[in-house]
Structure 1
Amino acid sequence: MTHRIADLLRTAAATAVPLVRGTADDELGAATPCAEYDVRGLLNHLLLVVENFRLLAAKQPSDFSRQPDYLAEPDWRDRFAAEADALVTAWAAPGADEGTTGAMDLPARTVGAMVLLDLTVHGWDLARATGRPFAPDPVVVAELADEVARMAPMARKAGVFGEAVALPDDGVAASAFERLLATTGRDPRAWAAAG
């Protein structure tokens, strides 16, 4: 990665926050491209992610084992926006992307790339599930490409990524983002583009 994690996260959050804010209550039961989650589960996961990765930026303990129902709170949309902002601020702090962090003692920049990937890919999941367009910033996608390729074997072993999807050779060149999604185990062409 050549750009600062905080700058990339700011860009990704600017795309994700309106998607979360625009999710209607009657869409919470809809299926998503992330097979383990419906929309409600995906939103709860995103809130847990931004909260925990904010702590990891500060080299504090995180707990991904909790399964709170953030959506039981009436202001969950505002809470996500506030948590996303706090996430960006935490990663902008001096030293946040240096050294190691987390229970696995991973390089902080790798951990920052993980939350960047979550905001980007789960943003796409949410957009597709709710029939809205999604266009990630090309700089974010370019910055994630090498990180995703590097973390894919470990992520598959941990069950975080599915098996890579082979994109069809149908004469339509796959975009960089489609290739990234396919690496995570998603079939970008199985979910019709919205908008």
Structure 2
Amino acid sequence: MEDLSSKITAGLSRLSEVYKVLLWEQAKKLKLSPIQIQILNFITYHKQELCNVSYLAKEFNVTKPTISDAIRVLVNKKLLIKDFSSEDSRSYTLMLSLKGRAIVNETENFANPIKEQLNNISEEDFNILYKTITRLIYQLNRSGVLTVQRMCFGCKFYKANGEQHYCNLLEKELLDSEIKLDCPEFIETN
């Protein structure tokens, strides 16, 4: 008989496929690739210093040439703007153009079919699911499988006391449901 962890892994694989299918459908409508949509969405919600080729390659676990190619297309389509304002003239960060912002507005809800199904789960199960997902992501990061994470557990502002979470930046206790997967104030612990 198959063990439960194998069944959960298979289930997560299926959910990943659903996400990919939804992303591909959205990409085809807009004549973009899924990685191009992901880059546009990432740039929308993250600090500009994270919006460069090196960081994006790490974020999406692809090579720098793959990211560079995607960026070249997005710049040519006038969806992204390269900002060369650093001291190194070869280095740049990326910003969305107005046209890029319009595309992001069209793509933001591509995962709604998944969200709609999550609304059918009881609040207790929903909270347990979120707690499990946050722990799994953190453990995969710590074991080196997931290279980038900006969640509370790895942040210098986070403090745990048993099962209780505390954010020193916000100066408040956090519920499991308040643990952020992608905090804009994240600073990695040393």
Could you state the TM-score of these two structures normalised by the residue count of structure 2?
0.34
Higher RCO (C-alpha 8 Å, min separation 6): 1
Compare CA radii of gyration and give the structure with the larger one. Answer: 2
